[in-house]
């Protein structure tokens, strides 16, 4: 079997071990790293690991280096003549499913569609012809794998960003098995899906419908709900890690120390020559950050955090004394939802929601904590703009989301975990995307016309029970943070067991 494994950044650690297992069982394997970080800034750390720890030969390891090398050969004043638009048109017709476009695929990437976020540290040339040349180069690069290697199976962990989605779309058109392992949002369980995590997988739907018909047991689900409500903690394990990190970084001295260490690392890599450069020294590389933009990013993040923290209207410490709908913001809609939402503009979503609510209702808005302490911060004016809507009520970022959900009338968000948690607490949930659990009754695609009709529908928990039971029974325990961050544990028994479970599912 020809197996293509797609890795994004540190996903390469478990991907490398999986490749080793496939090769030891006489499968032909290739690894493609679909990010550029490991090329731009580390100059081979992960690839030495592939070679030395996983016994993967150099000719079976691929990166995006050739794409960046080519795109950076073009001048910023290049004309349409450098782009083969006829190829791009034919590529969409021949290689993408009906209704799919390259624009739609690239909209899932913060690098190409910079509309609803403020990740502004990349150098994006003003001449949009360079973007279309990049699209052409990427499309040809992707096709080379399908035409030359001819994979029987493609596997990846999670779904960032557009490169994975492009490979999935081509695989879908050619009916090639494409499997994604993703977090189920339930404890430590991760689930396999064959539809790239966009809506509930047809395979999962079929399984759940069969369970319902056969009146299968839901004891695990019922017990999970009991423990979930008793613990008063988020339904997924990694939330505790996020809160711990936020509490640490929200302290100014800790944030300053962290930023200083990051800048020191940038400087060290620059001096050592560990940063790959494609254009002459005085010209910025296309679609890449540089030392100065990354340094500015760190300083800007601290300034924005302090601005937000000192704005009382954005940090209410008590819930409003009136009915409200809870709206949870995403870190970066383009990359943290990846569910083909009808819009990624959360301001627009909140605006739409505000129009259907009675005048005495509020919309309680809460940030993802990493929006203040990670690299992808927003200017405070972004939140102030949202706050101009009369019914909006910002709650402080440390406030318990579960407490907000419990006391709410409903929950609304693009496509987040709060939707699932809402239904567990018998609250109607409204979304703009296609979460992987949208088979569950009580979760509705937001529409102003039928909002109240859906709002008053009784929540039937049958599908919820069987969906959660399915995840708990069929999911594998996958400590993602640990498995991607520590290479010296790959020989430990639990690591081997996890990789063996993934291999077993993919080859059965």
> How confident is residue 41, by pLDDT bands cut at 50, 70 and 90?
low
Domains 2-183 and 313-470 share a fold: yes
pLDDT (0 to 100) of residue 489:
64
CATH 3.40.50 is the classification of domain 2-183: yes
Banded pLDDT at 253 (limits 50, 70, 90): very high
Could you check whether the bond before residue 161 is cis, i.e. omega within 30 degrees of 0?
A: yes
- pTM confidence score: 0.93
Highest mean pLDDT range out of 50-64, 230-244, 326-340?
50-64
Task: Please tell me the predicted confidence (pLDDT) of residue 374.
Answer: 75
Identify the residue with better confidence: 102 or 489.
102
Query: To the nearest whole number, what is the mean pLDDT of the chain?
Result: 90
Q: Report residue 235's pLDDT band, with 50, 70 and 90 as the boundaries.
A: low
Residues 6+ apart with CB under 8 A from 13: 46, 49, 483, 484, 485, 487, 490
SS3 207: helix
What is the band of 62 on the pLDDT scale with cuts at 50, 70, 90? very high
Query: How do the domains of the chain map onto residue ranges?
Result: 2-183, 242-309, 313-470
Alpha carbons 464 and 447: distance in angstroms, whole number: 22
pLDDT in tens, 292-310: 888 988 999 999 999 999 9
pLDDT, mean of residues 143-162: 93
- CA 46, CA 16: separation in Å to the nearest integer? 9
Look at residue 121 in the predicted model and tell me its pLDDT: 83
Q: Are 167 and 144 in contact (CB under 8 A)?
A: no
**Binning pLDDT at 50, 70 and 90, where does residue 35 land?**
confident
Region of poorest pLDDT, from 282-296, 333-347, 357-371, 375-389: 333-347
Q: Is the pLDDT of residue 491 over 70?
A: no
Residue 412 has pLDDT above 60, yes or no: yes
**Percent of the chain surpassing pLDDT 90:** 64
Of 98, 100, 102, which Cα lies nearest the Cα of 88? 102
Reply yes or no on whether the pLDDT at 49 is more than 70.
Answer: yes
CATH of domain 313-470: 3.40.50.2000
Please give the average per-residue pLDDT across 183-198, as a whole number: 90
């Amino acid at each position: 079997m020809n197996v293509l494994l797609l890795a994004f950044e540190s996903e390469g650690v478990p991907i490398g071990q999986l490749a080793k297992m496939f090769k030891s069982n006489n499968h032909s394997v290739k690894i493609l790293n679909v990010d550029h970080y490991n090329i731009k800034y580390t100059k081979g750390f992960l690839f030495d690991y592939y070679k030395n720890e996983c016994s993967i030969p150099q000719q079976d390891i691929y990166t995006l280096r050739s794409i960046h090398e080519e795109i950076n050969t073009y001048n910023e004043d290049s004309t349409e003549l450098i782009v083969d638009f006829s190829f791009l048109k034919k590529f969409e017709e021949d290689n993408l499913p009906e209704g799919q476009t390259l624009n739609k695929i690239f909209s899932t990437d913060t690098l190409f569609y910079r509309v609803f976020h403020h990740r502004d540290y990349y150098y994006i040339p003003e001449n949009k012809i360079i973007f279309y040349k990049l699209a052409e180069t990427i499309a040809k690069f992707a096709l080379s794998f399908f035409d030359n290697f001819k994979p029987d199976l493609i596997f990846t962990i999670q779904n960032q960003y557009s490169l994975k989605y492009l490979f999935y779309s081509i695989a879908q058109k050619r009916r090639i098995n494409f499997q994604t392992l993703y977090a189920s949002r339930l404890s430590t369980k991760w689930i396999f899906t064959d539809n790239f995590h966009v809506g509930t997988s047809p395979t999962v739907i079929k399984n759940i419908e069969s369970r319902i018909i056969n009146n299968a047991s839901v004891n695990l689900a019922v017990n999970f709900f009991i423990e979930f409500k008793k613990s008063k903690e988020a339904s997924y394990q990694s939330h505790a890690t996020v809160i711990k990190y936020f509490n640490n970084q929200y302290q100014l001295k800790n944030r300053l120390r962290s930023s200083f260490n990051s800048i020191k690392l940038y400087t060290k890599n620059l001096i050592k020559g560990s940063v790959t450069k494609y254009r002459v020294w005085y010209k910025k590389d296309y679609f890449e950050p540089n030392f100065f933009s990354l340094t500015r990013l760190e300083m800007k993040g601290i300034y924005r955090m302090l601005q937000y923290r000192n704005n009382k209207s954005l940090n209410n410490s008590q819930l409003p004394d009136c009915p409200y709908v809870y709206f949870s913001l995403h870190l970066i809609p383009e990359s943290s939802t990846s569910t083909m939402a009808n819009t990624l503009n959360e301001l627009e979503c909140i605006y739409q929601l505000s129009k259907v609510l009675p005048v005495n209702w509020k919309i309680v808005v809460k940030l993802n904590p990493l929006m203040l302490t990670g690299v992808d911060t927003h200017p405070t004016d972004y939140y102030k703009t949202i706050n101009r809507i009369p019914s909006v009520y910002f709650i402080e970022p440390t406030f318990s989301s579960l407490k907000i959900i419990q006391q709410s009338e409903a929950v609304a968000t693009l496509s987040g975990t709060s939707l699932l948690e809402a239904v567990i607490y018998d609250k109607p949930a409204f979304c703009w995307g296609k979460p992987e659990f949208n088979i569950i009754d009580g979760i509705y695609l937001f529409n102003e016309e039928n909002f109240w009709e859906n709002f008053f529908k009784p929540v039937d928990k049958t599908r919820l029970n069987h969906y959660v039971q399915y995840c708990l029974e069929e999911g594998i325990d996958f400590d993602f943070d640990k498995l991607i961050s520590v290479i010296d544990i790959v020989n430990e028994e639990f690591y081997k067991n996890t990789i063996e479970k993934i291999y077993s599912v993919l080859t059965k």
